[in-house]
Amino acid sequence: MARTDFGPPDYRQMIPPVIARNYGKWKYHTIPQPGVLKHVSESGEVLYSVRIASARLVSTDFIQEICDIADKYCDGYLRFTTRHNVEFLVSDETKLQPLLDELKSRNFLVGGTGNAISNVVHTQGWVHCHTPATDASGIVKSMMDELHGYFTTMKLPARLRLAVACCVNMCGACHCSDIAIVGIHRAVPRINHEGVAKACEIPSVIAACPTGAIRPNPKLKSVEVIKEKCMYCGNCYTMCPSMEIQDAENDGISIWVGGKVSNARTAPKFSRLAIPYLPNNPPRWPEVTDAVKHLVEVWAAHAKPGERMGEWIDRIGWERFFKLTGLPFTDKHIDDFNFAPTTFRSTTQFRF
């Protein structure tokens, strides 16, 4: 039997010597050019990190390729970032430019540092998830084909974090991203009564519903859904595959803005609804990519230096956000779920 319960590999065996020597002793860093970080240690030693975009869904060929590069320029060390970028760790400054040249010749995109759009945190979508309302990789690819100029430069007012989730489970911090793209269902689950009776634990299905929209149907040994109470979260479907929630006609995309996780300047914030619904239009999702590009451009044009999307909106107010972006404000933007009153305005301070 295989060895078990030994945990992850020890990071001490995976870090380059320059990091081992200067662990906990870094003094400051600069960004000499987009995608290149220069860390300087108290000892005077210097480490360059060169960041490239990755598709996140990658083949072993890709891993071998970046390993070849790391062997050539980085003594066999590399890392990934929390946002799926790859970082080449260069301790020999003379290898920096040759590495950048080689990355360019291989068409890798170097960037994602400072006031830029970094790589997109996203979910599996149609590639490998069982509850998706859309694909994730395809939206990311389509969107970043449009926006990669903001990855390879640092010309935005502040950093901008994008996330894509293929359903409202929002695996991946969508609820705290500057712009989040979230797949949504819009119709009540379709019940296969025979399937529910045969394969589902009915009390768990009922308990799974956050709005109490599911009640028993003893006659059919199944359940029924009170349409008015259902907000299509799909939690029942996760419990019971006979509550089919995927719907090619009705599923689509919603867009959320202004979230962040950093405590810098302002507290972490939730992303808020900007666009309740856009059609699911593979393979290129033009409505979604246009909307995201538009949001980025309006923010970039109006935000002050250092102001993230949510901080910009805090300053100008939501009323001006909708005006400047030209997005319609609808009944969908007014919360009617838990904690809704915390979002209602209780002051006469607002703008016309």
196 belongs to the binding site for other proteins (CB under 8 A): no
Residues of span 307-336 touching other proteins by CB under 8 A? none
Comparison of 130 and 215: residue with beta carbon closer to other proteins:
130
179 belongs to the binding site for other proteins (CB under 8 A): no
Comparison of 254 and 325: residue with beta carbon closer to other proteins:
254
Q: Which residue has 């992303």 as its token pair?
A: 271
29 belongs to the binding site for other proteins (CB under 8 A): yes
113 belongs to the binding site for other proteins (CB under 8 A): no
59 belongs to the binding site for other proteins (CB under 8 A): yes
Return contacts of 262-267, CB within 8 angstroms, 24+ apart: 265/306, 265/311, 266/310, 266/311, 266/314
Comparison of 5 and 228: residue with beta carbon closer to other proteins:
5
Structure tokens at 99: 């590495």
What is the per-residue DSSP string for 246-272?
Answer: --TTT-EEEEEE--B---SSS--B--E
Comparison of 20 and 319: residue with beta carbon closer to other proteins:
20
Comparison of 319 and 340: residue with beta carbon closer to other proteins:
340
Residues of span 198-257 touching other proteins by CB under 8 A? 204, 207-210, 233-235, 238-239, 241, 246-248, 251
Which among 2, 4, 23 is positioned nearest to 12, based on CA atoms?
23
CB-based contact 216:207 (threshold 8 Å): no
Among 50, 109, 184, 303, binds other proteins (CB under 8 A): 109
Comparison of 337 and 350: residue with beta carbon closer to other proteins:
337
> In the bound complex, what is the minimum distance in angstroms from residue 134's beta carbon to other proteins?
8
Among 36, 70, 156, 296, binds other proteins (CB under 8 A): 70
CB-based contact 34:152 (threshold 8 Å): yes
91 belongs to the binding site for other proteins (CB under 8 A): no
Among 36, 50, 53, 213, binds other proteins (CB under 8 A): 53
CA gap 47, 91 in Å, rounded:
5
Among 44, 218, 283, 341, binds other proteins (CB under 8 A): 283
CB-based contact 147:299 (threshold 8 Å): no
- Cβ count within 10 A of residue 140: 25
Q: Which residue has 């400047």 as its token pair?
A: 324
17 belongs to the binding site for other proteins (CB under 8 A): no
125 belongs to the binding site for other proteins (CB under 8 A): yes
CB-based contact 206:226 (threshold 8 Å): no
Angle at 246 between CA 288 and CA 259, to 5 degrees: 40
CA gap 23, 28 in Å, rounded:
13
268 belongs to the binding site for other proteins (CB under 8 A): yes
Instruction: Find how far residue 251's CA is from the centre of its chain.
Output: 19
Among 90, 144, 156, 303, binds other proteins (CB under 8 A): 144
CA gap 251, 69 in Å, rounded:
42
Comparison of 157 and 275: residue with beta carbon closer to other proteins:
157
> In the bound complex, what is the minimum distance in angstroms from residue 340's beta carbon to other proteins?
10
> In the bound complex, what is the minimum distance in angstroms from residue 352's beta carbon to other proteins?
27
Q: Which of these ranges, 94-102, 142-150, 294-302, 320-328, lies near other proteins under the rule CB under 8 A?
A: 142-150
Comparison of 197 and 207: residue with beta carbon closer to other proteins:
207
CA gap 343, 269 in Å, rounded:
13
Give the DSSP H/E element, type plus range, for residue 139. helix 137-151
Structure tokens at 309: 């999307």
> In the bound complex, what is the minimum distance in angstroms from residue 183's beta carbon to other proteins?
10
- Cβ count within 10 A of residue 266: 13
- Cβ count within 10 A of residue 216: 14
78 belongs to the binding site for other proteins (CB under 8 A): yes
192 belongs to the binding site for other proteins (CB under 8 A): no
Among 73, 103, 110, 141, binds other proteins (CB under 8 A): 141
